[in-house]
Amino acid sequence: MNSDDFSVEDDALRNYLPTSFGKQAPAANVQAQFDLSKRKVVDSSKQHPAPASIPDQHDDTEDSDGDDSDDEEEDEFPVSHELLIKTHERAVTTVSLDQSGSRLVTGSNDCTFKLHDFSAMTSTTIRAFKSVDPSASKSSASSETHPIHQVAFNPHSAAQMLVITATPQAKIFSRDGELLSEFVKGDMYLRDMHNTKGHVSEITSGAWHPTNRDLCVTGGTDSTVRIWDVNNRREQKDVLVHKSRAAGSAGRTRITAVTWGSPAQGGNPILVAAALDGSLVMWDGEGPYHRPFGEIRDAHAKNTWTSGLDISADGRLVITRGGDDTIKLWDTRKFKSPITTVSHPSTSSQYPTTSIRFSPSSANVITGSETGHIHILNPATLRPELVTPVTPGSPLITVLWHPKLNQIITGSANAETHILYNPTISNGGAKTVMSKAPKRRHIDDDPTRTTDLAEGLSGDAIITPGGLPGSNTGATSFAARHPTVGLTASGKSRDPRRPHVPVTTPFAKSTPDERHIREHIPLSSMRDEDPREALLKYAEKAKKDPLFTNAWKETQPETIYAELSEEEDGRETKKARR
């Protein structure tokens, strides 16, 4: 036999025999999972013409050539692959990632924000680990719910989130969804907004200070921009009243967007706000805030909602997306007229939180469209370098480009959150999720094959005060160990026929058992007894054997009252009429 025949037999035997013994950890075919998440369509800019520049504007830059291939665009922008997260029931209005990129929060018009942890998700278990209704977190019981306008992680401390809802009060939540503080509401009957301690009407936008971890800013429909210290929720630190010059506004307008930026190379930060009267106002980010050092009255058309607003990394450029179907680029050093203006259909009339943002290096500008496409624009000309569909037919509302992950997160009107990434140039986030082996289904994942402790525990069970039912028993409650199994990603039961049954106790029943109360509650029989009769039972005993006045029993003097006549008493008797 030839040596080649032995090598073939050895290879066959080697493939047949196991390489190791014992329990094997599940291995993931990473490349296969990346191929499953690869997007079929990357560039559709050829089907969508470039936005036309508005005439009479300064645009000296020539059109960018479109000779780049799709492969080069895939390597340049992280859009070759995507991860779909569908945990909301209505439009996703805001998305935010913490500084490390490990936790994602999404807000929606379904009045909840949901927390997602990339380290706990796999390609088959993409769900939110917590859903929070900010209105239900208030101390007072209230059944009102409000849409989520904005949720933003603190860029300096991932333990805090700024939550803006359609109410006059902004809230600070922890990274685990616990309410930390709620800012005060102002007095709506005061006409001078300088004297109110908080917003008196709905807040529309908010942002964190670029360098101070304890400061944040909010803009509301009461024509004010207020700066808050998270350590003092009873009153704002500063209040900036924007006096509108539009006719018929009585000096007030609505603040539609606000942002806070700081030059990366150093320098004073700047605070920029947009209003419904079409104005764009800029203040010194460190104060004083007596008057703005830059204001443009007709930045956008009046009575149109300017929702998108962002500042470049160097603090020199401001990008705005107005409700007048335009995108404009402004220079903070010459804050008078826009550098470039292009037409772009607006969706702010339906979704007031439609955003536009600079990329982490400010080399590009990203925004969504009413057709569900994401537009990556050149900041010099505002012409698209890449147009790719994300949710075709459904408006793309919010966008975010995370600097550490190098991934783009989008939220759409069809309640979908997409994370665009590239396995080559992206890090963590969706790439980590797709690199994990899919979770194998376990027998414990089937609720019908687990122990149901709703009927109670056995007599030999050990009860831990304050613990979950069955947490210290051999037959551990499946719901205690896996609280999300049997539920949808939004937290509802998978079986619509099965209602939620609360744990019943003798005190939760409408008609409690009298025998149980009489045997287990001390002095429970006193509720059927007359209190006056109960006290009179001890009257004779208290007279014969006084407990508190026994020390003065022998020495207590007797009170003697004098006998007075009618004249000495000073009272005149009525004389009978004759």
Name which of 179-183, 322-326, 534-538 the model is least confident about.
534-538
Q: Domain for residue 20, yes or no?
A: no
414 and 467, same domain (yes or no): no
Which residue range is the domain that position 480 belongs to? 460-486
Q: Whole-prediction pTM value?
A: 0.71
Structure confidence at residue 520 (pLDDT): 73
CA distance 275 to 571: 83
Instruction: Tell me the pLDDT tens digit for each residue of 399-426.
Output: 999 999 999 999 999 999 999 999 999 9
Burial class (CB in 10 A: 0-12, 13-18, 19+), 185: middle
Beta strands at 407-412 and 270-275: parallel, antiparallel or unpaired:
unpaired
318 and 369, same domain (yes or no): yes
The answer, yes or no, to whether residue 71 has pLDDT greater than 70, is no
The answer, yes or no, to whether residue 257 has pLDDT greater than 80, is yes
CA distance 479 to 473: 14
CA distance 79 to 389: 10
Q: Domain for residue 156, yes or no?
A: yes
> Listing from the earlier edge strand, what are the strands of the sheet with 270-275?
255-261, 270-275, 280-284, 294-296
268 and 203, same domain (yes or no): yes
Q: Domain for residue 100, yes or no?
A: yes
Q: Domain for residue 19, yes or no?
A: no
The answer, yes or no, to whether residue 58 has pLDDT greater than 50, is no
Q: Domain for residue 186, yes or no?
A: yes
470 and 429, same domain (yes or no): no
212 and 248, same domain (yes or no): yes
- Domain count of the chain? 2
The answer, yes or no, to whether residue 20 has pLDDT greater than 80, is no
Identify the domain boundary among 468, 486, 504.
486
39 and 78, same domain (yes or no): yes
Q: Domain for residue 516, yes or no?
A: no
Residue 387, domain CATH: 2.130.10.10
66 to 57, 72, 363, 369: CA distances (angstroms) = 24, 12, 18, 21
The answer, yes or no, to whether residue 90 has pLDDT greater than 90, is yes
If we measure between CA atoms, which residue out of 325, 324, 309, 392 comes closest to residue 357?
309
CA distance 97 to 206: 16
CA distance 449 to 50: 58
* Beta bridge partner(s), residue 280: 274, 296
479 and 424, same domain (yes or no): no
335 and 413, same domain (yes or no): yes
335 and 419, same domain (yes or no): yes
Structure confidence at residue 259 (pLDDT): 95
Amino acid at 302: K
Q: pLDDT band for 264, please (50, 70, 90 cuts).
A: confident
Q: Domain for residue 390, yes or no?
A: yes
Q: Fill in the DSSP letter of residue 552.
A: G
Instruction: Tell me the pLDDT tens digit for each residue of 285-338.
Output: 887 888 888 999 999 999 999 999 999 998 899 999 999 999 999 999 889 899
